Amino acid sequence: MILRMTLERQIPGYWDGGAKSTFDFQIDGSPRHDAQGTYIRISSWQANHWFHVAIGKTVKATLANARRRLTARATRTGVGCRFEYIETEPGYFECRAFNTVH
């Protein structure tokens, strides 16, 4: 599953190809544990950005945690955004994180 973030205007950044307004985020890594619980890495090649979020019971719940974090960051910078979930075949890291057969 992919979480697609679309900004209301294009922004420049540390990537090739000039300003962009659409970024795809997905689970990228195995679950890890610390004193606060279980977390997983979320990344976007288009945005050249990654971060950790708490793992949910499903892929969509985990990406919803990422959505809340991205929304908060966009609000602080003053850029409006919208999100959509795109169904895809489960990737390697999704299968590992949620114990599903690929």
Alpha helix segments (H runs only) across 1-102: 59-77, 92-98
Q: What residue numbers bound the domain in which 49 lies?
A: 2-98
The tokens for 45 are: 């090649």
Q: How confident is the model at residue 69 (pLDDT cuts 50, 70, 90)?
A: very high
Q: Looking at the predicted structure, is the pLDDT value of residue 102 above 80? A: no
Give the model's pLDDT for residue 99.
78
The string of pLDDT tens digits covering residues 9-40 is 888 887 777 889 999 999 998 899 999 899 99
Euclidean distance between CA atoms 88 and 69, whole angstroms: 22
The string of pLDDT tens digits covering residues 36-46 is 899 999 999 88
This model's pTM is above 0.85: yes
Return the percentage of the chain with pLDDT > 70, whole number.
Answer: 97
Nearest to 37 by CA among 57, 11, 17, 21: 57
Give the model's pLDDT for residue 101.
57
Euclidean distance between CA atoms 22 and 47, whole angstroms: 9
Domain count, the chain: 1
